[in-house]
Amino acid sequence: MNAPRPADAHPYLRAATAGLRHHTRAHTVPGAPADRLHLDTLHAHLTAAHQLLDQLTDATRSPHPAAGRHLAAAHLRLWQATAAVHDAFHTVPADQEGSASEECRPERLPEGPLVLTICQRHLAASHAIRRKTTPTDLNTQLHGRTTACSQ
């Protein structure tokens, strides 16, 4: 039997989720296209969630192999979403003339323009996933669900 869930379980994760919900409802303008600042912030959120999911997957895989496989699939899908947001960032036009180059150059320090920050973060995340995932897995389109919700 499961122990009762404490009221303050994972408060920062719940706060991050509430913040995303609030932003979705209150701060996005209907019909307004994504801008680079939004995409950079979303990319930061996705990479943080990706790192958390990576840790949970590693911790779950040994005691609960089936659950670990599902978490590994979610880990891969989240990486694909993160990579797509990074790609979208580079296709959205820069807000100002003379801003940073559109080219992704992550070897530069992250203290510079926004384009350098997202590329540096993306490069670090890509190194982490490549240690555990094959290139074939990374390029595989994942379709369908692996289980049906029975609750």
* 69 vs 139: which has the higher pLDDT: 69
Tell me the pLDDT tens digit for each residue of 7-36: 677 899 999 999 889 888 877 677 788 888
Residues 6+ apart with CB under 8 A from 25: none
pTM above 0.85, yes or no: no
